[in-house]
Amino acid sequence: MLSLFQLIGTIGNPLPSYGSYLSATRLLSNIIRLLIVGAGLYALVNFVIAGIGFINSAGNPEGIQKSWAKIYQSIIGLSVVMLSFAFAALLGMLLYGDPSAILQPEITGPGG
C-alpha cells in the first residue's frame, strides 16, 4: 500500500519563483490600487443610489436635493482621486525626472 507522500510526491516552495512580488513596495502598491478601485466602486454605487433617489422622490424637492448632494459628493471624491494621481506624477517628474517614480517605485536591496 502506498504512503501518502508517495502518492502526492514532493511539493517545492513556490515563493522563490515570485521574488519581487513579495516586497513591501509591491504590497503597498497593490493596497493603493485596491483602495482606488474601491473608491471607484463606491462612487458608482452612490451614482446608482442617487438615481434611485431621483426616481423615488417623485418631485419632492428635498429628495431631489439629497440625490444631487450624493452626485456632487461622488464627483468630488473621484476628482480627489484623479488629482492625487496627477499630483504624484508631477511631484515625481519634478523631483526624480520620471512621472512614474512615485506611482511605481523600484527599491533595490543589497543584492540588486
- Give the position of cell 462612487: 43
Q: Which residues are CB-neighbours of 71 under 8 A, at least 6 positions away?
A: 46, 47, 50
Share of the chain above pLDDT 90, in %: 34
Sign, CA torsion 59/65/68/74? negative
Weakest mean pLDDT among 42-46, 47-51, 96-100, 106-110: 106-110
Please write the tens of the pLDDT for every residue from 59-107.
899 999 999 999 999 999 999 988 988 888 888 888 888 888 777 766 6
Q: Dihedral angle at the C-alpha atoms of 60, 62, 63, 69, nearest 10 degrees?
A: 140
pTM for the model? 0.63
